[in-house]
Structure 1
Amino acid sequence: MMQMIFPFIGTIVAISVAGWVVTTWLRIKHGYPLQGGWGQSVYPKRDDETVERVKLLSQENAQLKAELGSIKDRLANVERIVTDGAHSLDREIEELRSRAN
């Protein structure tokens, strides 16, 4: 019985090791950092191009966060207008018109 199981176990182990080797080779080929046993980068890239890319992405992220904040404010105003009764909306419009005059 064991003589029938060992070839299957050996085949599974060989396929797993070959898959790991191919995955590692593809990561190296395409410039992805290798990962250690706990997911940390083993050889992270730290060239000038990568640092500049991180700076640009950080700036873009800050701009998008600011834009998202303003969109949230505008959406809150639209929700307030939609959920308010027509009477209070009319009253606010009239108050704004009287302030303009």
Structure 2
Amino acid sequence: MLIGPIQGGDLMGMVIMLAMFGTIGWVWVNKIRVKHGYQLTDLWGRPIEKASSASAETVKQLELQVAVQGERLQTLEQRTRVLERIVTDRGQTVADEIDRLRDSRAN
């Protein structure tokens, strides 16, 4: 007995079933591979990398660099404030401020 033509709904159901079986098969194969010590792979067979301890070390180094840059930024902001004050002051106060800054740099 021959099977008649496939109806639209039946075709969509078969496609969904094939996708489900493919996904279930991929999970099952990866479970077996991990159990026997093989590396995990993605759907295309490429190896999936684990996050290593080197990345934790990199994060620590980056945090240190951010802290150093933050300190540099604070000192630059302080210097900018001083320069803005010098520029906006008038007359003798400017000369006094410059002399005071020279004296503080000499010490």
TM-score by length of 1: 0.44
TM-score by length of 2: 0.42
